[in-house]
Structure formats: C-alpha cells, structure tokens
A and B are shown apart, each in its own frame.
Chain A
Amino acid sequence: MSRMQTTVRITLTALIIAALAACAVQPPRENAALRNLNNDLEEFRANTELSERVPLAVSDAERAVRAASAEGLSEAELSHRINLAAKRIEIARAEAFRAQAREQIDAVEAERTELLLRASRLEVEQARREAERALMQSQAATEEAERTRLEAMTAEELREEAARREQQAREEAEAARRLAEAQASEIELARREAELATEAAESMRRRLDYLELRETDRGVVVTLGDVLFASGETTLQPEARNQLGDVVKLVEGEPEKQIRIEGHTDSTGSSAANMRISRLRAEAVRDALVEEGIDASRIQAVGMGEDFPIASNESAEGRRKNRRVDVILLND
C-alpha cells in the first residue's frame, strides 16, 4: 500500500466522520419503534383479505416505512417518519374496511335484485296458471252447460228452499216473541183490571170533576179524568161522548192551534203496559174528537205512560188523578 493511498483513505474517513458528526446522525442500531412499525406493516400485508383490496394504500405505507428505515436520520426526524408510516398503515386499514363494506353492499344489492326478479317470475307464472285455469273452466262450463242444467236447477231450488226455511224460522221466532209480549201485556191488563175495578165505583161518583182546565207554558191543558174509560178499557164509555162536548167547543174556538192529546197512567203495572194503555186511550179521545168534526191533521195523540204523574202514586186518590188524558191546545 502506497503512502498516498493511505493518506486518501484517512482523509475520506475523516470526511465521513465529520459529516456524520455535523448532523448528529443516529448510529445504525436496532430501533424498537422501527421494529414495531415493520411488524405492523407485515401483519397487515399478511391479512390479504384486507390488504389485497387496497394495493395503492399498501404501497404508500411501504414507501413510508422505507423512508423511516433510512439511515442517518436525526432523532426527531426518525420518530416523525415512524409516526407518519404508522398512520399510513392505519389509513390503509381503514380504506380496506371501506372496500370490504362496499363489496358487501354490492352483494346485498345483487341479492335484493335476484329476489325481486324471482318474485316477478313467480308472479308471471301465477298469472299464467290462473289464466289457464280460467280458460279450462270456461271450456268445461260450455261443454257441460247442457248436461248440468238440471243439476243447476236443482241446486237453485235447494237454495230457494233453504232461503224459505230461513225466512220461516225468522218469522216463527218473531211470532213467538210477539206472542210472549202480548201474553205479558194480557196478564198485566187483567191484573190491573181487577185492581181498578175496586176504584171504579168511586170514580164514577166523582165524574163531576172529570174536566179540569189550566194554563201552562205549552198552552191550555184540559185534563180528562179516568172516568172517561171503564176500568182497564181503552175505549170510551158511551156516556163519555157527551162529556167531551166541552172539549170540542174549546178546540173549535181556537181553530189555528194544534192539539196534542197525551194519555197518562199511574205507576201500577209494568211501564210497557202503561205506555200501551195510555197511548190507546189518547187515541180513543182523538178518534172521538175527529168524529165530532175536528180536523185530524191538527191532532197528535201520544201515550206518555206512567212517567209524568201530577199526584202521588202512594194513595188511591193520587193514582186516580194520575190516570188521565190531557188535551193541550198548543201555543205557537
């Protein structure tokens, strides 16, 4: 080895050392953070299910790891580059997750499309089958129309019979219901008749006060006592006709006014029976007035039942007062 060569070598070596010293280079030693970084990258690359979806992001990360692995970096620059490279790996991972989700979205959408397609094929097939069935049915119907006419008629008759029976059963049930109702009314009437009979004689003696007249908000009210009717009866006694003469005169004197006739009973007996009796009695009075020449269209006859007493139902005298027919000359 010549002298000169030795000098050159020494100079070069000194230069390199100076340069290294000038920017405080890291000694080329194993760096734990760098090792971890490489491990991270390797791990991600090995997970091909993720890494193969994002080749660009992987190569960015590889480049960043190489930049961090360069020799001669300052402490600050080394940790900065390790930091950057670690973030690059994180970014690649996030992008891979995104790509994975997007792929699954595509698969879900494809499945949805496939399902809808299958459904529409089924729909078409169903419609076709139904059309065929309808056609076959109509053909069969045409062919067998003649042959089944008798049967069809029989069926028609059966239907009619069934309908008739149903109607009959309905009518029977209705009739039974009415009968029961009527029987109840009859019993009630008979009971009342017996009761009223005991009062009848007395009532007859008091017929003088059969007519009462008073002014009310509704109009002039003429109250006809129960003496107009025989006990339990709903037709006027023959002699009552004469006594209605006063009423006829009264309503004839006010030809513009409407007439309302209300039948009332006491509280003895069922309210349904009382309603019926009061209505029939009101109607009997109406008919009598019409017979005497009062315009029927002026008159409204209603049964009020037992709900509008004018005296106490506790005493016989009160009950007698409550059994009445009111003739009202209605105010406008």
Chain B
Amino acid sequence: MKPIRLLAAAAALALLAACATTPPDPAMLDNARNAISQAEAANAEEYAPIELRYAHERLQQASQALENERPDDARRLAEQAEIEAQLALARTRAALARAELQRKQEELEQVRADLVEVFGEGVVQP
C-alpha cells in the first residue's frame, strides 16, 4: 500500500502549492513596465493604442493592489498588463510589416511601369 500513500501525499502537496499565496514582490511590476516600454518604443501608441491603454490601466491597478496588500490581485494584474503590452507590441510589428509590404509593392509597380516604358511589355514577361 506504500505507492498509494505516496501518491496521495504528492497530490495533496501539489494542490496546496497550486493555491499557495505568493509573497508580495515589487519586482513583478517591472516585467509589465518593461513590456510597456518596449511596445511604446515600437510606436504602439499609433498602431495598437487600445491594447497599450489597457496595459497601462492594468499596471496602475496592480500598483494599487500592491499598496492595499492584495498581492495575489497585484500579481495577476501585473501579468495582465505585461501580456497586454506584449500583444500591443506584436500587433504593432504586424501593422508595420504590412505597411512596409504595401510600400514595397508600390515601388515594384513603379519599377515595372518604368521598365515597360523603356523596354516594352517584354521585360515583365518571364
């Protein structure tokens, strides 16, 4: 019966660990702050303003929760702020890439038109 006992004990421990209260850690706001800075540096203000604002709000709430000694809430809010900033960054980068793609396509069309003008249609046929 030893395996059963061990298993049961492990399960109990795991459950306890899962809902154990995390000690307050002011550094956990740092990740969120860094993520927001990164997004802003990539110009998220223009391309993902809603996500960016949401991230700021969450960070603000996290900071308040820390002051009010609600560490669990503070951690979750900080994590939400962080991931929202990461999302803002990813969406900004995608928008920038799409804009660049459009620019390059227009350039290509221009080059194509110029060459056709000089060399005739033949130059654009493979």
Contacts and interface: CB of A to CB of B under 8 A. Distances in A.
Given A72-B19, A91-B90, A102 B119 contact: no
A2 to B, nearest CB: 10
A111 B15 contact: no
Contact of B1 (A8, A15, A88): A8
Interface stretch (A17-25, A179-187, A298-306): A17-25
A16 B19 contact: no
Contacts of A95: 90, 93-94
A248 interface: no
The 10 closest A-B pairs by CB, nearest first: A23-B19, A101-B97, A94-B90, A98-B94, A97-B94, A87-B83, A108-B104, A80-B76, A12-B8, A98-B97
Given A91-B90, A119-B118, 17 more contacts: A12-B4, A15-B8, A16-B11, A23-B19, A72-B19, A73-B18, A76-B72, A77-B19, A77-B76, A84-B79, A84-B80, A88-B83, A97-B98, A108-B101, A112-B111, A115-B112, A115-B123
A108 B111 contact: no
Contact of B16 (A23, A73, A83): A23
Given A76-B72, A105-B104, A118-B123, A98 B90 contact: yes
A122 interface: yes
Nearest to A126: B119
A195 interface: no
Contact of A83 (B8, B80, B86, B97): B80
B30 interface: no
A12 B101 contact: no
A105 B101 contact: yes
B100 interface: yes
26 contacts: A5-B1, A15-B8, A19-B12, A19-B16, A23-B19, A72-B14, A72-B18, A76-B72, A80-B79, A80-B80, A90-B90, A94-B90, A95-B93, A97-B97, A98-B90, A98-B94, A101-B94, A101-B98, A101-B100, A101-B101, A104-B101, A105-B100, A105-B104, A109-B104, A115-B124, A118-B123
Contact of A15 (B12, B97, B104): B12
Contact of A87 (B8, B14, B84): B84
Contacts of B107: 112
Contacts of A104: 101
A131 interface: no
Interface residue SS majority, chain A: helix
Interface residues of B, number: 40
Interface residue SS majority, chain B: helix
A105 B98 CA distance: 9
Nearest to B73: A76
Given A23-B19, A115-B111, A91 B104 contact: no
A48 B8 CA distance: 41
Contacts of A91: 83, 86-87, 90
Contacts of B93: 94-95, 98
A72 B119 CA distance: 72
B112 to A, nearest CB: 6
Q: How large is the interface on A (under 10, 10 to 19, 20 to 34, 35 or more residues)?
A: 35 or more
Given A87-B83, A105-B100, A116-B111, A122 B119 contact: yes
Interface of A: 5, 8, 12, 15-16, 19-20, 22-25, 70, 72-74, 76-77, 80, 83-84, 87-88, 90-91, 94-95, 97-98, 101-102, 104-105, 108-109, 111-112, 115-116, 118-119, 122-123
Contacts of A122: 119, 122-123
A105 B97 contact: yes
A87 B19 contact: no
A276 B122 CA distance: 69
Contacts of B97: 97-98, 101-102, 105
Interface core residue of B79, B94, B105, B123 (most chain A CB under 10 Å): B94
B115 interface: yes
A84 B87 CA distance: 11
